[in-house]
């Protein structure tokens, strides 16, 4: 391919203006789209100030959100950390929407703006548009409209029913947010625009069929007890999405309360893919910016000085402290993602004998970019690590696996970076990214319909790790309040089915009123 060299660098100092941003974008675009063949949503670049970045932080990065005190709490924390200089702010923030919104901080130098555009506007953007988890679960086109609807709806509820009752429902829903996600995809893709329309329709229907007379009709005779299997089937049990279950079957909830549960649930669902693809998403963006920045430098679009500035920043981002360095706080998703992806590129270009044995399909493949793009589209963190963490990398990072068995007084080193350990380390690290292991498996299993309507929830305990008791009690109280009757949470060992512990909570009578 003939490569066009830059007539002059794009910029020399650290200052930038809007026309420079435009030129940077236009220089990067052909590299990303034609050479790397990325497939992206149209970009919208927004320049924001530090204060606006703080605002965005506290509404989970979204440009608009409903009002709730917990976002205020976020805000005051971030603000203090920032003002005290304990924590810097991100250089950018990117939203999975169509068009893809990239927030750039005004404080960034010209080099950083280039890096950030490459990273977010092309790297993250490509990942959002192509990764199957995002495709399956999120509606990039509808999210902003839906958030707008959610904000308006909750404001209306506050006007109509008072701030406090709405806040209570939101508090309870937030507590159960992680249990408000469908983990297995349904056939129908989400259409958030239709959601808003549907709620309006439902409200209109309720208004139309409302007849005060119904209130005076005596309630019917008691139904016969239903056999438990039929009952569970009718209620759609067992159900892992507790918010969904409450929304559909909660006996005492008002329709607006159900709608609020739904809003929280759908937003949780929107963020669900991000939690499963953190390392891949960051890896993809980091790999992209690295490729683009290197290319820009090779062709003379950026100066040696700003390339050095980029390298220093890049090195910080992908730094992985070792376990005994005192800074270790788990794996750095940037380092993990970028490390594995660079390694894949190496395997494609210059495979060793070992690589050929481990990765016969990709070793020596000519087009590393195609291989990577396929991976970006079809994997999430867990499968990505379990397939592509190579022995080379395990040795390079000197990974080892520690086993902490219940009842044993000492920890055991179960595997190290040797022939016997590669697979075990890889499997174990992959499991750390398995969402089913990060989060407890909690399901609604039964309701005592004939009796006191007690709701029975079960936690399938893995490896004997139980729930944090203090928090569990608080969440359970919220659950009982929403359900309106007693709630029982049983912690049952997933293998032996032995009950290890149980918590229960009674609803707070004043809560729903």
CB of 211 to another protein, least distance (A): 38
Nearer to another protein, 122 or 307 (CB): 122
- 504 binding another protein? (CB under 8 A): no
Q: Which stretch binds another protein (CB under 8 A): 125-133, 201-209, 222-230, 434-442?
A: 434-442
State which of positions 410-429 bind another protein (CB under 8 A): 410-418, 420-421, 425, 428-429
Work out which of 85, 220, 227, 329 binds another protein, going by CB under 8 A: 329
Give the contact letters, 52-71, x = binds to another protein (CB under 8 A), - = no.
x-xx--xx-------xxxxx
Nearer to another protein, 246 or 425 (CB): 425
Residues 331 and 344: beta-carbon distance below 8 Å: no
Helix (H) or strand (E) holding 457: strand 455-461
Q: What does the alpha-carbon distance between residue 480 and residue 439 come to, in Å, rounded to a whole number?
A: 21
- 47 binding another protein? (CB under 8 A): yes
Work out which of 325, 361, 510, 513 binds another protein, going by CB under 8 A: 325
The closest alpha carbon to 46, from 1, 109, 93, belongs to 93
User: Which residues partner with 504 through β-bridges?
Assistant: 488
- The tokens of 255 are what? 């329709």
The closest alpha carbon to 274, from 14, 62, 490, belongs to 62
User: Which residues partner with 94 through β-bridges?
Assistant: 102
Give the contact letters, 164-183, x = binds to another protein (CB under 8 A), - = no.
---x---x--xxxxxx----
Give the contact letters, 377-406, x = binds to another protein (CB under 8 A), - = no.
--------------------xxxxxxxxxx
Q: What does the alpha-carbon distance between residue 363 and residue 15 come to, in Å, rounded to a whole number?
A: 44
Residues 486 and 506: beta-carbon distance below 8 Å: yes
Nearer to another protein, 372 or 457 (CB): 457
In this structure, what DSSP letter does residue 120 have? I
User: Which residues partner with 466 through β-bridges?
Assistant: none
Work out which of 45, 120, 302, 505 binds another protein, going by CB under 8 A: 45
Residues 140 and 129: beta-carbon distance below 8 Å: yes
Residues 404 and 464: beta-carbon distance below 8 Å: no
Nearer to another protein, 347 or 472 (CB): 472
State which of positions 77-96 bind another protein (CB under 8 A): 77, 79-80, 83
Work out which of 357, 367, 370, 471 binds another protein, going by CB under 8 A: 471
- 107 binding another protein? (CB under 8 A): no
Q: What does the alpha-carbon distance between residue 258 and residue 273 come to, in Å, rounded to a whole number?
A: 24
Nearer to another protein, 229 or 410 (CB): 410
Nearer to another protein, 178 or 365 (CB): 178
Residues 110 and 14: beta-carbon distance below 8 Å: yes
- 201 binding another protein? (CB under 8 A): no
The number of angstroms, rounded, from the C-alpha of 358 to the middle of its chain's C-alpha atoms is: 31
Nearer to another protein, 289 or 459 (CB): 459
- 469 binding another protein? (CB under 8 A): yes
Tokens 């920043």 belong to 313
Alpha helices in 218-367 (DSSP H): 228-234, 242-249, 255-276, 278-298, 304-317, 333-349, 353-358
Chain length of the chain: 513
Work out which of 201, 357, 374, 432 binds another protein, going by CB under 8 A: 432
Nearer to another protein, 198 or 398 (CB): 398
Nearer to another protein, 39 or 378 (CB): 39
Which three-class secondary structure state does DSSP give residue 459? strand
- 255 binding another protein? (CB under 8 A): no
CB of 437 to another protein, least distance (A): 9
Which three-class secondary structure state does DSSP give residue 43? strand
State which of positions 3-42 bind another protein (CB under 8 A): 18, 21-22, 25-26, 29, 42
- 162 binding another protein? (CB under 8 A): no
């Amino acid at each position: 391919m003939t490569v066009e060299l830059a007539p002059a660098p794009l910029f020399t100092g650290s200052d930038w203006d809007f026309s420079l941003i435009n030129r940077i974008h236009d220089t990067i675009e052909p590299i990303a789209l034609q050479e790397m063949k990325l497939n992206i949503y149209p970009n919208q670049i927004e320049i924001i100030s530090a204060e606006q970045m703080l605002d965005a932080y506290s509404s989970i990065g979204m440009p608009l959100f409903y009002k709730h005190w917990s976002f205020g709490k976020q805000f005051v924390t971030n603000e203090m950390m920032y003002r005290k200089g304990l924590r810097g702010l991100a250089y950018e923030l990117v939203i999975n929407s169509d068009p893809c919104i990239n927030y750039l901080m005004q404080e960034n130098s010209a080099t950083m703006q280039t890096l950030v555009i490459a990273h977010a506007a092309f790297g993250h953007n490509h990942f959002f548009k192509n990764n199957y988890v995002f495709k399956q679960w999120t509606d990039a086109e509808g999210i902003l409209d839906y958030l707008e609807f959610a904000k308006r709806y909750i404001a209306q509820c506050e006007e109509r029913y008072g701030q406090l009752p709405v806040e209570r429902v939101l508090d309870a829903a937030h507590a159960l947010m992680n249990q408000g996600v469908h983990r297995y995809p349904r056939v129908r893709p989400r259409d958030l625009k239709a959601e808003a329309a549907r709620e309006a329709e439902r409200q209109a229907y309720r208004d139309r069929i409302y007849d005060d007379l119904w209130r005076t009709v005596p309630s019917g005779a008691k139904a016969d007890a239903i056999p438990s299997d039929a009952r569970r089937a009718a209620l759609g049990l067992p159900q892992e999405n507790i918010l969904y279950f409450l929304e559909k079957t909660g006996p005492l909830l008002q329709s607006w309360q159900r709608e609020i549960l739904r809003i929280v649930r759908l937003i949780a669902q929107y963020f669900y893919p991000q939690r499963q693809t953190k390392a891949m998403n960051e890896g993809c963006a980091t790999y992209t910016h690295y490729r683009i920045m290197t290319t820009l430098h090779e062709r003379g679009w950026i100066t040696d000085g700003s390339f050095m500035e980029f390298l220093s920043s890049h090195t910080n981002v992908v730094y992985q402290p070792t376990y005994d360095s005192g800074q270790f706080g788990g794996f750095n998703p940037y380092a993990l993602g970028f490390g594995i992806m660079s390694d894949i590129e190496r395997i494609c270009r210059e495979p060793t004998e070992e690589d050929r044995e481990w990765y016969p399909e990709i070793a020596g493949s000519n087009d590393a970019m195609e291989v990577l793009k396929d991976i970006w589209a079809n994997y999430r963190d867990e499968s990505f690590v379990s397939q592509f963490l190579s022995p080379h990398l395990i040795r390079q990072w000197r990974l080892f696996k520690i086993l902490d068995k219940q009842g044993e007084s000492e920890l055991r080193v179960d595997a190290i970076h040797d022939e016997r350990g590669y697979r075990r380390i890889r499997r174990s690290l992959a499991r750390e990214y398995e969402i089913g292991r990060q989060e407890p498996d909690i399901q609604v299993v039964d309701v005592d319909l004939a009796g006191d309507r007690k709701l029975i929830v079960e936690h399938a305990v893995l490896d004997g790790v139980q729930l944090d008791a203090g928090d569990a009690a608080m969440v359970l109280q919220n659950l009982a309040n929403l359900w309106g009757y007693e709630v029982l949470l049983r912690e049952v060992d997933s293998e032996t089915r032995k009950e290890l512990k149980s918590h229960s909570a009674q609803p707070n009578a004043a809560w729903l009123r």
